[in-house]
Amino acid sequence: MILIAIAQQLLPYIFIGFPSFIDIITKLLGILMIFAIYGVANALLKTLRDILRSSKAFLDKPVDSYLQVLQIFLIFVVGTLIVSAVTGNSPWSFLVSLGAASAILMLVFKDTILGFVASIQVSANDSVRVGDWIEMPKYGVDGDILQINLNNVRVQNWDKTIVTIPTYTLLSDSFKNYRGMQESGGRRIKRSINIKISTIRYLSNEEIQELKKIALLAPYIEKREKEIKEYNEQNKVDPTVLVNGRRMTNIGLFRAYIKAYAVQNPDIHQQLTLLVRQLAPNEHGLPLELYMFTKGTQWSFFEDTMSDIFDHLFAAIKYFDLEVFELPASDDLRKHLNQKHSPSMLKP
């Protein structure tokens, strides 16, 4: 820039007697000066971007969007000054004439304007941040946000693919943000065991005493025995008919066992919702749903914890004389065919 300024001062002495050359070279040097100033300003903006990116306060903010707006504004100013230098007119006259073409400019920069507005609203509402896990099935998005800039958002899916979506879709379309789950410190388990309904029944006293040997279940059984005895005595229930009064069922005790097992599990979050409930019966049996949260949100820890719980429950269900519902397997068909062709079935 200093050399350009010196050259501008020396022009009248170098090209004495050539006023037309002086005028042309003066304009060229003026344009070079504008580009030099633009280069310095652009370098300062990039330096500012790197400083903000390294700051914890701006680590999850859409810094690129704001800096891109400044860069666009800078380019617009440079373009205006260059046109003014070439034509010899005032920059203001150029801007006035540009106002007539504002409708065309709005169409050309529509995505940029929408992206800028979206970036401001996203930042102001704190709806998403860099590093958030978001899900947008419509666009095949299911992963962490890598970058939010003026025109698009870059997301890395869990399969390591990169998806790029327009920034304004964060306002125009709905999305799921898992930040709340990560900040809560717990990840939800919501899975059911389908119980074969024909195996649900009342338990005899002998079976109840046998199940009382299960350490986790003993306190619950003792409490229920007292409650049932008091209720049946107060209402003078006829014990010879099982449906009279209150009785314990195998599925009721299994449900109580699942809850007791979850309560004592060190990997289950005890301050968040923890329940075991029955859902509506369907063609796959009676769903017994586990609804609880793990203590950590890491995917591998979550999957390991959930698998350990269900491994145990599938092995423990036989102690309650219950069966998990399964669609007919080859063994079931083989048993059915053997029964159909047994000698007793062939007798007239």
Instruction: For residue 221, give the nearest of 247, 253, 197 by alpha carbon.
Output: 253
Give the 3-state DSSP-derived string for 272-305, with helices as H, strands as E and coil as C. Answer: CCCEEEECCCECCEEEEEEEEEECCCCHHHHHHH
pLDDT of 9 = 58
In terms of pLDDT, which residue wins out, 276 or 126? 276
Q: Across residues 66-73, what is the average pLDDT?
A: 74
Examine the pLDDT at 38 and tell me if it is beyond 50: yes
Q: Across residues 283-312, what is the average pLDDT?
A: 95
In tens, the pLDDT along 236-274 reads 888 788 888 899 999 999 999 999 999 999 999 999 999
Would you place residue 121 in the very low, low, confident or very high pLDDT band (cuts 50, 70, 90)? confident
In terms of pLDDT, which residue wins out, 216 or 118? 216
Examine the pLDDT at 224 and tell me if it is beyond 80: yes
Burial 124-141 (b: 16+ CB within 10 A, else e): eeebbbbebbbebeebeb
Which of 71-75, 149-153, 155-159, 196-200 comes out lowest in average pLDDT? 71-75
What is the rounded distance in angstroms from the CA atom of residue 309 to the CA atom of residue 265? 9
Helices 63-87 and 19-53: angle between axes, nearest 10 degrees? 180
- Which percentage of the chain shows pLDDT scores above 90? 43
Residues 6+ apart with CB under 8 A from 41: 74
What is the rounded distance in angstroms from the CA atom of residue 82 to the CA atom of residue 308? 70
**Would you mind telling me the total number of residues written for the chain in this entry?**
348
Q: Across residues 54-81, what is the average pLDDT?
A: 73
Contact 323, 195 (CB under 8 A): yes
Instruction: For residue 170, give the nearest of 109, 122, 111 by alpha carbon.
Output: 122
Which of 101-110, 128-137, 139-148, 288-297 comes out lowest in average pLDDT? 101-110
In tens, the pLDDT along 331-347 reads 666 666 676 655 554 45
10 Å CB burial of residue 172 (0-12, 13-18, 19+) is exposed
Helices (H) and strands (E) in the chain, counts: 14, 8
pLDDT of 40 = 83
CB 293: neighbour CB atoms within 10 A?
22
Backbone torsions φ then ψ of 246, nearest 5 degrees: -110, 145
Q: Across residues 113-138, what is the average pLDDT?
A: 82
pLDDT of 24 = 64
CB 176: neighbour CB atoms within 10 A?
13
Q: Across residues 305-322, what is the average pLDDT?
A: 96
What's domain 133-182's architecture?
Roll (2.30)
- What is the residue-averaged pLDDT of the chain? 82
User: Whole-prediction pTM value?
Assistant: 0.64
pLDDT of 77 = 79
pLDDT of 345 = 46
